[in-house]
Amino acid sequence: MAVRQQTAAARVQPPITERVTVLAWLKHNLFSTWYNSLLTILVGYLLYLVLVPFFRWAVLDATIAGDSKAACSFGGACWTLVKVRLGQYVYGLYPEDQRWRVNLALVIAALAMVPLFLERFRHRLTYAVGLVVIYPIVGYALFYGGWMGLPVVETSRWGGLFLTLVIAGVGITASLPLGILLALGRRSEMPVIRSLCVAFIELVRGVPLVTILFMASVMLPLFLPAGVNFDKLMRALVGVALFSAAYMAEVIRGGLQAIPKGQYEAAMALGLGYWQMTGLVILPQALRMVIPGIVNTFIGLFKDTSLVTIIGLFDLLGMAKLIVTDPQWLGLAAESYIFAAFGFWIFCFAMSRYSQHVERRLSAGERR
């Protein structure tokens, strides 16, 4: 919404006399009335109380030199820990000499996504679908190994930002198509499909993600026959994907319901069948309308991945927690957690900026 206001403001230039100077801006925004001035001073004072000591702790008195806790000074942050353990924050316990596999998979992902951003490329949708099917196989083969002389790296050694991205990536790519199908199913006129979709969505939305993860990791193994053990990460991935699909379905249903009935009728009058109508007329409009909702779900999902710590997987947060239990580094919890929070923020902020960009591009038609 903010974007739309900005673009509207950009069209109507303010009169030349009201061009803002710093002082005028301050007077207008911070000191317009006596109580606003009071609030400004009060908030400024509070910020001063909090930020100055924080800045002193995190920057001025901080240590980053050395490679052990002995180098740290009390009173300031000790970023030495983060420096020494950076590899673990990023890759978890993935063996150091095998980390190139993760990097390679990331490079492949980046290269493979380039055509998606080329506006000229015609078959973007087909390409995207193919990518979603093929890339996980490539990724798994690289990460897990066990072929062509690549040593196997068990999923219990996966961790850090890498694991966060794996879980979020799988959740995001699986939840969008699943969510679209569930949303369409919920609006279907076939009673069996409709009730199945409604039951699934309501059931999954009715329980917290923690519960699903917990069931998958603690209860499920007890009901499986002897010797059958699904990988713990696999169980968590399925749980996360199903959970986010249910939320995604409701977001997309909102978009479907906002499409005027005339669009459906017009599509049918053109002689389009159900799938053609849905794929060519309804979904493109509906999805565009709910981009903020979809991205919101993605960001939520990205942060929810940290819940996997409760089932003993080390995502970025879990790794931050594990690292500070090393007796050699005890007492540096604050540094570790702040670094993990910073990592999460970078990704969430990037996602939200990208969504604003997509929104702007897709709403080009409305501005005209």
Partner 1 sequence: MRLSTVFAAASVMALAAGGQALAGPTFDAVREKGFVQCGVNGSGLPGFASVDDKGEWSGLDIDLCKAVAAAVFGDASKVKYTPLTAKERFTALQSGEIDMLSRNTTWTLTRDTALGLDFVGVNYYDGQGFMVPKSLGVKSALELDGASVCVQTGTTTELNLADFFRANNMSYEPVVFETNDELIGAFQAGRCDVFTTDQSGLYSSRTKFENPDDFVVLPEVISKEPLGPVVRHGDNEWGDVVRWSLYAMIEAEEYGVTSENVDELKANSTNPTVRRLLGVEGEFGKALGLPADWAYQIIKQIGNYGESFERNLGENTPLKIKRGLNDLWTRGGLQYAMPFR
Please list, in sequence order, all residues whose beta carbon lies within 8 angstroms of the beta carbon of residue 220, skipping any fewer than 6 positions away: 230, 235
Q: Site for partner 1 (CB under 8 A): how many residues? A: 43
Q: Which two tokens stand for residue 261?
A: 């009935």
Among candidates 359, 350, 364, which has minimal Cα distance to 168? Answer: 350
What x/- string results for residues 180 through 199 when contact with partner 1 is judged by CB under 8 A? --------------------
Q: Distance between CA 226 and CA 217 in Å, rounded?
A: 16
Nearest to 247 by CA among 307, 309, 304, 193: 304
Q: How far is the CB of 229 from partner 1 (least distance, A)?
A: 5
Which CB atom, from 91 or from 247, has the smaller least distance to partner 1? 91
Nearer residue to partner 1 within complex by CB, 124 or 157: 157
Binding range to partner 1, per CB under 8 A, among 13-21, 184-192, 211-219, 272-280: 211-219
What SS3 state is found at 63?
Answer: strand
| Separation CA 103–CA 99 (nearest Å) | 7
When computed from its CA atoms, the radius of gyration of the chain, rounded to whole angstroms, is 25
Separation in Å, CA 95 to CA 91, 237, 323: 9, 22, 16
223 binds partner 1 (CB under 8 A): yes
Q: Which of 164, 168, 160 shows the shortest CA–CA distance to 99?
A: 160
Residues 109-148, interacting with partner 1 (CB under 8 A)? none
Binding mask 289-328 for partner 1 (x = CB under 8 A): --------------------xxxxxx---x--xxxxxxxx
Could you say which residues in the range 52-81 bind partner 1, by CB under 8 A? Answer: 69, 74
Nearer to partner 1 by C-beta: 151 or 312? 312
Which residue from 79, 82, 85, 242 is in contact with partner 1, where contact means CB under 8 A?
A: 85
Q: Contact with partner 1 (CB under 8 A): which of 135, 214, 264, 347?
A: 214
Say which residue the tokens 């080390």 belong to: 314
Both tokens of 172, joined, read: 């995001």
85 vs 186 by CB, closer to partner 1: 85
Interaction site with partner 1 (CB under 8 A): 69, 74, 84-85, 87-88, 93-96, 154, 156, 214, 217-219, 221-227, 229, 232, 309-314, 318, 321-328, 330-331, 333
